[in-house]
Each structure stands twice: as C-alpha cells, then as structure tokens.
Chain A
Amino acid sequence: MVRTAWRAELLRGVRTALPAAPGVLAWGLVTGVAMVKSGITVPWAIVISLLVYAGSAQLAALPLIAAAQPFWIVSLAALVTNSRFVIYGASLRRWFEEYSLRRRAVLGYFTGDFTFAMFMGRVTRDGEFAHRDAWFLGACLFNWVVWQVSSIVGIVAATAIPSEWGLQFAGTLALLALAIPPCLKWPGLAGAAVAAPVAVLARGLPFGLGLLVGILAGIGAAVAVDSLLARPEQTVQREQG
C-alpha cells in the first residue's frame, strides 16, 4: 500500500518535471559542448558531468581548469558559484527533516534550479503532503537523466554543434514559465521586480555572486510587501477578537 502510494508520487514528480525537459536538454547540451571546447578530454568531461551535475559550477570551473589553476581554487570557485543552493537547502530543509540522513543526502545531491522551484510550488499549494520525498526524487531523477543524456551528447558531438545557436536560451524560457505564476501575487511580483534588476546590475561580481545578491534583495522586498499586505488583516482579526 505504502509502496504503491510512494511510487505514484514518484511518477507524479516525473510528470511535473516533464514539460521543462526541452529547456534542461538544451542547457545540458550547451554545457557538454562548452566543457570539451575548453580543452577537457572527452572521458573526463563525461566523468565530471555524471558526478558533479551542476551546470553553472561546471561552467565557472572551465576557464580555471584550462588555466591549470590549483584544484582547491577551482573547487572554491564552484563552491561560491553554487552558493544559491545554500538558500535552496535552507528552504527545503523543513520539508525533509523527518527523513533519514541517507535519504536527505540523496535529495540534496539531486537538487536543481528547476526541481527546487517546482517542489516549493507544490508545498506552497498542498503543504506537508505524504511521500514528498518520492515526488521530489521523481522530478529530480527525471531531470538528471535528461541532463546527463544531453550533456553527454554535447560532449561527444561538441565539434558538430556551433555555440552561436544560442540553445541555452531554451533553459531560460523554461525557468521563465516557472517564474510567471508566483508573479501574479503582489509579494512574488515585488520579489522578482527587485531580484531581477539587482542581479543584472551586480552581474559583474565574481563567481556569479550577483545572483546571490539579487536573490537576497528580492526576498527582502517580497517580505516587506507581504507584511504590508498582511497588516490590515491582522488589525481586523484583532478587532474581531
């Protein structure tokens, strides 16, 4: 019984992640091509893609590897580039805290931009729904497979794929579709309206730190608008009580 329900939730996760596949595919392909074009050999590019599974961190590491920088500098750059995932982890934590350490390690390992946004959308709607680990894992594993297949195709066929196709924009469009629904509420819109320009203005910061600054500024704006909107309701409740 429990197993069937778990598996059903896993499949539901896969189904939710399905429409983003064209975007993930294009982004994986571009990352694979970029790795080989930066001078990494095909076998190592495949190993890195399979084990590291972090598009933006891999891309940030490429010029450093090409310049033969010490491995700890490369790792540090990846750590900082990936810093937005610390915020993702902070947001996901409360929904997964009851699961075993091993389960949480797996869920953490497979977290991506798409699956994070999709999962938070689901729990915002449905709260602590049962087998949410399965749902998240389903979405993440599907994403992982699509990413790996396209990334390895990109690695193997790198010379045949011109980078000026601008394929990675399909990934941006998939993220855009995820960003629109939360913008239909005032706090979400305020968050996006602040995060976007701040990220653009701060894009020159090293290791993609502008992204982090944009996210934090956006969260601040969303909270401010949220509490402004909440205040009149609270007053009403207090008067009624």
Chain B
Amino acid sequence: MTLYMLLVTGGLVLATFATRAALLLAGQRFKPSPRVEAALRFAPICALAALIAPEIVVREGTVDFSLTNPRLVAALAATAFFLWKRSMVGCIVVGTLVIAAFRFGVNG
C-alpha cells in the first residue's frame, strides 16, 4: 500500500509538473509562429469559458437552461452584479446567496 501510494504520488507530481512547466522550461527552444502566439492571447478567456460552462448549465448529467436551475440563475445574477460593481468578491457573494436562497427557499 505504502509503495503503491509513493509511486502514485510521484507519478502525479511528474504528470502535473510536466504539463505546467514543460513549455516554460523549453523557453527559446519552443517558439511558436507569430500567428500562434497571437492566437494564444485568447487562451485565457476560452479556458475560463470552457471550465465554467458545464458547471453552470449541466445539472445531474443533463443540460438545464431553465430558471429552475439554481446555478444558472446564480451565474446570471453574479454576472449582472459584476457588470454593475466590477467586484469579484461581490460576484462570488451574490452567486452564493442565490444558491442558498434556492436551497432554503425551495425546500423550506
């Protein structure tokens, strides 16, 4: 068990370090073309969108765009609040409050 966990931990460290650091370590040796470099400007927004979209609209395995989906309503309210106040903490608080309101309002 201990040997197995040692190997697993070592493997996980290597795997995650390799994905995150490999291209930084390559430095000058990995120089994408200017076109690719320009395209990578959009990597952050696309990664953020791809990370959060399933968390918001997928409910118990199926896509739910209805206003009975607490996470969808929470995301809409949080977006509106962020556009108004430009506050990340506010965005988190508003969204979390909506989720809580659904939990206690709907069940209570």
Contacts and interface: CB of A to CB of B under 8 A. Distances in A.
A177 B24 contact: no
A62 to B, nearest CB: 11
Interface in B86-104: 87-89, 91-93, 95-96, 99
Interface in B21-59: 21-28, 30, 32, 36-58
A138 interface: no
A72 B11 contact: yes
A130 interface: no
Given A52-B16, A75-B14, A188-B42, A105 B21 contact: yes
Interface in A101-136: 101, 104-105, 107-109, 111, 113, 116-117, 120-121, 124
B13 interface: yes
Dominant secondary structure at the B interface: helix
A113 B20 CA distance: 11
Nearest to A204: B61
B25 A105 contact: yes
Taking residues whose C-beta sits less than 8 angstroms from the other chain, chain B's interface range is 35 or more
Given A88-B43, A188-B45, A176 B79 contact: yes
Interface string A29-63: 00000000000100010011001111001100100
B19 A200 contact: no
Contacts of B56: 172, 176
A177 to B, nearest CB: 4
Interface string B57-71: 110000100000001
A28 interface: no
Contact of B79 (A57, A92, A180, A188): A180
A174 B40 contact: no
B58 to A, nearest CB: 6
A111 B30 CA distance: 18
Nearest to B47: A215
A78 B8 CA distance: 10
Interface of A: 19-20, 22-23, 40, 44, 47-48, 51-54, 57-58, 61, 65, 68, 71-72, 74-76, 78-79, 82-94, 96-97, 101, 104-105, 107-109, 111, 113, 116-117, 120-121, 124, 166, 168-170, 172-180, 182-183, 187-188, 191-200, 203, 210-211, 214-220, 222-223, 226
